[in-house]
Amino acid sequence: MTRPAAIALLLAATMLGATAAPRIAVVRVTDIYAGLESTAQLEQQIKLERDAILTDQRAADLRRVIDELKALQARLSDKNKPLDEEGARTLARTYELRRQEAQTLQREFESFRANREKEINRKMVTAMRASLNRIHETARRIAAEQGCELVIDSSGNTNTGVPFILYQKETPDLTVAVTAALEDSAATAESPAPSNP
């Protein structure tokens, strides 16, 4: 083979390699995240923490005072058993004191609830980011192992709500492989280390 022919052959091979389309794969991040055991545990924990807000002593005190206010209001407006002037005045003062107490308790509870909700939301976002980072890293590793140059989340939508991927033909889907790898790593993390005799 002559030198010009070898250069031409090398140049043609280089051009073919340069013009080859990148190998693209997809992964459904939403499906993977929803199927994680850590996601189910997080949702359960968040629900328990949100339910605990309503069982806090501040909420119980507020409900008690509201019930007392209803009873006082019913007694004040009961036409079947009218109060004398002094009794009505005393009951009205008691009602006003309880109303002010209820307002104070309401403010305290709302402040407590807002602070707890912020803490819960912060914890939830941190845990979600950690899970999504694990999914991302696992998808990246598997894609590299399979020779993919680009991985796209096929469960994502654009800012207008339209699916990001409108059409795909025979694109490798890494969702099952990523899910299996995450389950394997979770099982490995949960299994106890062998003890040395």
64 within a domain of the structure (yes/no): yes
In a domain, 8, yes or no: no
Q: Crossing angle, helix 175-190 and helix 85-145, to 10 degrees?
A: 110
Within-domain flag for 7: no
State the pTM of this model: 0.68
- Residue 195 domain-assigned (yes or no): no
Q: Based on the structure, what is the number of domains in the chain? A: 1
Range of the domain at 123: 20-189
In a domain, 131, yes or no: yes
Q: Tell me, what amino acid is at 13?
A: A
User: What pLDDT does residue 19 have?
Assistant: 55
* Helical packing angle, 85-145 and 37-54, nearest 10°: 170
Per the domain annotation, does 5 fall within a domain? no
On whether residue 122 sits in a domain, the answer given is yes
The predicted pLDDT at position 119 comes to 97
- The pLDDT, as a whole number, for residue 104 is 94
Could you give the maximum distance between any two Cα atoms of the chain, in Å? 123
Q: Quote the pLDDT of residue 197.
A: 43
Look-up: residue for tokens 């598997």? 142
Q: State the pLDDT at residue 81.
A: 77
Q: Which regions in the chain score pLDDT beneath 70? A: 1-21, 190-197
